[in-house]
Amino acid sequence: MSRKKKKKSLRKRIFVFLFSLLLLLVLGGISFFYLVKWGAFGSVPGTEELKDIRNANASLVYSADQVLIGQFFTENRTNIEYEDLPQHLINALVATEDARFFEHEGVDQRSLFRVLIKSILLGDRSSGGGSTLTQQLAKNLYGRKNFSFLTLPVNKLKEMILASRIEKLYTKKQIIKLYLNTVSFSENTYGIEAGSRRFFSKHPARLKVEESAVLVGILKANTYYNPRIHPDHALKRRNVVLNQMERYGYLGSGKADSLKKLPLQIQYQNLADNSLAPYFLQQLKLKAKEALGGMKKPNGKEYSLLTDGLKVYTTLNYQMQKAAEKALETHLNYLQNQFEKHWTGRQPWDDNPEIFEQELQKSEQYQALINRGLSDNELEAALNKLRKMLVFYQGKDSVLELSIKDSVAHYLKLLHSSFLAMDPNSGAVLSWIGGRNYHFMPYDHVLAKRQAASTFKPLVYATALSQGIDPCDYIDNERRVYEEYEDWTPRNYDNQYGGFYSMKGALKKSVNVAAVQTIFNTGIENVIVTARKMGIDSKLPENPSIALGTGSVSLYEMVQAYSVFAAGRYFHQPYLLEKIIDADGNVLFKREEPEPEEVLSEETTRLMTAMLQEVVNEGTAQSLRTIYGLQNELAGKTGTAQNYTDGWFIGYNPSLVAGVWVGSSYPQIHFRSGTYGSGAATALPVFAGFFQELNRTSSLKNYSNAGFEELPPELQSKLDCPDYRDKNLMDKVLGVFKKKEGKKAEDKPGFFQRLFGKEKKKDN
């Protein structure tokens, strides 16, 4: 065979081979495509499923004054309508992510060809990925699965198939809406509404052009271009987006340049971690789930608070919550500094070292070290090694260099506080603060049970009034020993005895021995019955010490109880939830107003209020007037537990009841004197600061300016007596015949009594 014929034969064989190879590739590609389409690599969602695309949608929580205060979600997303999207946001998205979006039908062949030639054959990474917005939507909705070396082609084909199906079912506007409601902006934030609120604290409709460019820029790599974490990266990417908008005619030639000169400015807001009322929201979530319990959607599935985009309306007053937060933070920061100075040179738990060891061994860091199997010496070295830690310090998140032992000591020395305010005429909770920082200390002290101290005394005197004992009946201020109760000997706060106090005077000055005498007169069981009617559910001691508040109760219970005085005899169960509405505007739950329960007589509550007004005007709470300058009509009571372990103040007017508790995580850790440790020094200033804020806030003056009705003459006359009088001869004669519980305490005279004829007065 000639050389010419051989060459021709070779070319023919090569052609046949290449043609056969090409045919094989085409047939293989077609076969591969149909294998993917028919579900060989997992099912591809069909038309019916695609018709019902639904993203997990966060439920929004609103205050009574219509402020968004929180969200409940698995994915932080709030779906919005196309009409709520500004045109410049859509322009930025299309110009940057899919310039031919309005021309293709889900798959852009021109873009695919460009990617094939430039990216694959020429290695040009700048040519893009070739995925249309619709393909990206498919990926966002259904994700990608691992198929080993076939992962990329299988997933790409699936996305193309889905994109084509989506384009047949939805308009371009609907696809843009679905896309922008689906994309991630990092930080567990999904959809343009959540992203806009997270980084700019505004609804998308109010975004500026340069802000829209920032958000669109995040989509390329949502952590790398996060404007909070990497502002320099976000700024460069924003300017790329602006250039793209100019390139495709969405911005005039000079407009992009002027916008690129603007600095990057964000207004970051994270309701998930930094909501105004996190302790309130945790309780609200329980109430909302209970309200929805078993309720079903039209499709038969139960409503979900975390995924169904519900709107939850609450009783919380946003402005009042802000006022309470400010008052608590201001005073607790001051008080914490005083506490640190108070214990300079030693630790508050030096007499109880087991407290520190117990807390240390409970800590996560200690447990982690133990699990590593360290020797005793290695463990001690690790516990004392300094390292940078994020801690709650001086009212904010701070990075300090501490050892594990230092951090345990730091939190042990922290003072805690809680605050609760409610409308006594309805039970609506207006403000709820369970602690100083939910992120670091999620334990809710509104519900914690501590000794109520003297805040319990009004319940004793209310029982006495209900039994016909008069506010001007006098009570012997004599210290007595109660042998029947293990020789218990109650003492007055100032350690002063003798003479007689009227009931109203005993309450005003918080005289302990008079409260104990009164509970013997009323009967211990009767006082417990009164407490139960007024909302105290905690177990109470069935002995006379209950008169001094030795029972452990919560702030929640005590505010309930005082609301009965404020409401003029009626008990209203506190509530947090007003209504729940679904994404279509249907009311799923609306609170029904129950009939209030009359638990005391009107006369009893009005007399108690008048007596508690005197506590504020002239008694243990008079610093509200003399130091803090409050002129509002107020009634209230301070409380100081033994050894200053708990400080309380509960105050009210006819429209508002508010209570404050201050203490540490362990009762053994406390101030050593009443100068800083009494309820008047720890809790009352928070209430005072709160009311000062109410007085400065015009929208809250209907709460702060509420006044009590004037007492009718017949009730006023029952209070017309001196608070105190000395004993006279007739008292001594009558005392011989009058039966009293216990026996008179005989004190041996101390040094000061022998020297000056009187006892040294204790810290007040």
Per-residue pLDDT at 727: 78
Residue 741: the pLDDT is 76
Chain centre to alpha carbon of residue 420 = 13
Is residue 392 scored above 70 in pLDDT? yes
* pTM exceeds 0.75, yes or no: yes
Arithmetic mean of pLDDT, 30-53: 60
Average pLDDT of the segment spanning 236-262: 91
Amino acid in position 565 = F
Q: What's the whole-number mean pLDDT along residues 531-560? A: 97
pLDDT over 80 (residue 331):
yes
| Closest listed residue to residue 566, CA positions, set 535, 528, 527 | 535
pLDDT in tens, 487-508: 999 999 889 999 999 999 999 9
Tokens standing for residue 590: 């609306």
Which residues, including other chains, have CB under 8 Å from residue 339's CB and lie 6 or more apart? 413, 415, 671, 676
CATH of domain 419-578+594-744: 3.40.710.10
Mean pLDDT of the chain: 87
Is the pLDDT reported for residue 160 higher than 90?
Answer: no
pLDDT confidence tier of residue 433, bands split at 50, 70 and 90:
very high
Q: CA neighbours within 13 Å on the CB side: how many for 606? A: 15
State yes or no: pLDDT of 353 exceeds 80.
Answer: yes
* Beta carbons of 232 and 224 less than 8 angstroms apart: no
**Helix, strand or coil for residue 168?**
helix
Helix, strand and coil content of the chain, in percent to the nearest 5, comes to 50, 15, 35
pLDDT digits (tens, 9 = 90+) for 613-635: 999 999 999 999 999 999 999 99
Q: What percent of the chain lies above the pLDDT cut of 70? A: 84
Contact 211, 204 (CB under 8 A): no
What residues does each domain of the chain span? Answer: 77-270, 317-415, 419-578+594-744
Higher pLDDT, 551 or 167: 551
* Nearest-5° Cα angle at 191, 212 to 133: 75
Q: What is the Cβ-side half-sphere exposure of residue 268, based on CA atoms within 13 angstroms?
A: 13
pLDDT at 385: 93
How far apart, in Å, are the Cα atoms of 183 and each of 77, 168, 178? 10, 21, 9
Do the two domains 77-270 and 419-578+594-744 of this chain adopt the same fold? Answer: no
> What is the per-residue pLDDT for 753?
40
Q: Looking at domain 77-270, which CATH architecture does it have?
A: Orthogonal Bundle (1.10)
Q: Please determine, for residue 16, whether its predicted confidence score (pLDDT) is greater than 80.
A: no
SS3 label, residue 89: helix
Beta bridge partners of 70: 61
* Percent of the chain predicted with pLDDT > 90: 64
Tell me how far apart the alpha carbons of residues 405 and 383 are, in angstroms, rounded to a whole number.
Answer: 6
Residue 21 has pLDDT above 70, yes or no: no
Q: What is the pLDDT of residue 270?
A: 76
* Arithmetic mean of pLDDT, 18-42: 58
Per-residue pLDDT for 196 more than 80? yes
- Under the banding of pLDDT at 50, 70 and 90, the label for residue 163 is confident
**Contact present, 464 and 712 (Cβ < 8 Å):** no
Tens digit of each residue's pLDDT (9 = 90 or more) over 750-764: 433 433 344 333 334
Confidence of residue 38 (pLDDT cuts 50, 70, 90): low
